[in-house]
Amino acid sequence: MKKTAYQKELVIKATQKRGGINNNKKDVMKIQSWLTLFSIPNPGSGTATEIDGDFGPATERAIKNFQEFKNITKTGVVVQELFDMLSASLKEAFEKPLVSNSLRDLIVEAAENHLRQHPFELNIQGQSNSGPWVRSYMDGHDGSPWFWCMGFVQAILDQAASAIGKNFKTLMPLTYSCDTVGNTGLEKNVLSRYQKIRRDPSIIQKGDVFLIQKSRLDWTHTGIITAIEGDVIETIEGNTNHQGSRNGIAVMKRTRSFRRSKIDVFSIGSLI
C-alpha cells in the first residue's frame, strides 16, 4: 500500500498513565481520541473525554470505564496491549485481508470493511476534520481545512489495488482534491458527465468513483459506488452525514439519484 499513515495511529511510544514520567502529549491525545471514538457506537461506556493531551483523573476514569466495558482489570494505565484494543477498529479496516477476485469487488469489499468500523472525525481543540481516522485517510494531515472525502476514496482504491499487486496512482495522482481527480478523468477520457450517464446509465459500474459537479470544472464531493439500481446509486463515502454533506463527520452508506443530482463518474476500468 502507498497510503500507510494509519500505521502511526496504532502505536504509542511508551506506557501512558496519570502522572507518568514517560507521558507524551501526542500519545495521550491519541488515547483520548480513541476513548471518545469508542463512545460513539457505545454511548453507555463512559469513555468520552476531553482531547487535550493531559492525562488527568478524567482520562484515567475513562480508561477504567473502557477496561470495565471490556471485562479486563481496571488499572487506568495504557500499555501498548491496551492501546491495541482501543485502536483495533482502524487495524481491522486497513489490514483485514480482502478475499474478492475482481478489482471492482475488492473496492466494494474494502469500502464495506471500513464502513463496519465506524470511521468518524473528531473536533479537537476547535478543529473539525480531526482525529486518527482523518489522519489515516489524509496521510497524516487533519484539522478544519482538510476535507477528507477524496482521502477516503483513495485509501479504498489503494487497498483494493494493492491486494492484486497494482498501484492506484496509475489511475489518478495522490491528491485530496476532487477537482484534480475530475480533471485527470477528463484528460484520460475516463470521466463520464452526468448528462451522458442520464442517457445511458449502463456506464455506471460498481467500484467506480462518483464526483458531484458544482460547475463544469468544479466538483465538491466524492465516494465509491457500490451498487446501481434503476435511477439510484448506492455509495459509501467519507466526510459525509445523513444529509449527504461534503463536510460531514463520518463514513456512511448512502443512496443518491443520478437523475436529480449532477453526478459525474470516474471509471476505474483502466486499472483492471
Range of the domain at 110: 91-271
What CATH number is associated with residue 19?
Answer: 1.10.101.10
Cβ contacts of residue 64 below 8 Å, gap of 6+? 74, 75, 76
Residue 4, in any domain of the structure: no
Q: What is the pLDDT of residue 219?
A: 98
Q: What is the pLDDT of residue 272?
A: 84
Whether residue 174 sits in one domain with residue 57: no
Residue 5, in any domain of the structure: no
Q: What is the pLDDT of residue 199?
A: 96
Whether residue 105 sits in one domain with residue 69: no
**The pTM of the whole model exceeds 0.75:** yes
Record the cell numbers describing residue 8, joined without a space. Answer: 502511526
Record the cell numbers describing residue 120, joined without a space. Answer: 468518524
Long-range contacts of 139-143 (CB under 8 A, 24+ apart): 139/3, 139/5, 139/174, 140/5, 140/8, 141/176
Whether residue 53 sits in one domain with residue 129: no
Q: Residue 90: pLDDT band by 50, 70, 90 thresholds?
A: very high
Q: What pLDDT digit, counting tens, does each position of 182-195 carry?
A: 999 999 999 999 99
Query: Are 168 and 255 a contacting pair, CB within 8 Å?
Result: no
Q: What is the pLDDT of residue 73?
A: 97
Whether residue 132 sits in one domain with residue 257: yes
